[in-house]
Amino acid sequence: MLPWGPLGAGFLSGRYRRGEAMPEGSRMAGAADDLEEAPARRAIERNFAVVDAAHEIAAAHGATVPQVAIAWLLGVEGVAAPIVGPRTPEHLEDLLGAATLELSSEQWAALAAPAPPPEVYPQRMLAEQVGLERVTGPLRRP
């Protein structure tokens, strides 16, 4: 699997804060309500709980939140490589640090626990944005 958008339109960059407006110029700031990047879909408590866990883990490793997010994803069975979309060379250099970051099983679980994938992701997104019919059953292993 080659997951795209592994930082959730920058949500897992750690720059978004509960109760604050989306930073000007960010992908989420201008996202319409029907897009995946819409604040009503991304800036929700379960996602902020993941970011909180990522901040703690990043601090423990001397790493960044994006590095922790990518390191977690690299540990998901079946993921060959995440498709990253850094805006600057500095962002890319930072993301490359994820390749050497090793998370403990406890840290991995702390990141996964607050926001498990919905049973039918990405079917909701595909139905809404591309017009594909909804799939009623899960496409991931139990």
In a domain, 59, yes or no: yes
pLDDT tens digit string along 88-137? 999 999 999 999 999 999 999 999 899 876 656 666 677 777 766 655 55
Number of structural domains the chain divides into: 1
Classify residue 45 as exposed, middle or buried by CB count within 10 Å of its CB (0-12, 13-18, 19+). exposed
In a domain, 107, yes or no: yes
pLDDT tens digit string along 22-70? 888 888 888 888 888 888 888 999 999 999 999 999 999 999 999 999 9
Does the pLDDT at position 141 exceed 90?
Answer: no
In a domain, 127, yes or no: no
In a domain, 93, yes or no: yes
In a domain, 53, yes or no: yes
In a domain, 124, yes or no: no
In a domain, 138, yes or no: no
Q: Which domain holds residue 100?
A: 11-17+32-116
d(CA 96, CA 84): 10
Q: Which pLDDT value is given to residue 60? A: 97
In a domain, 24, yes or no: no
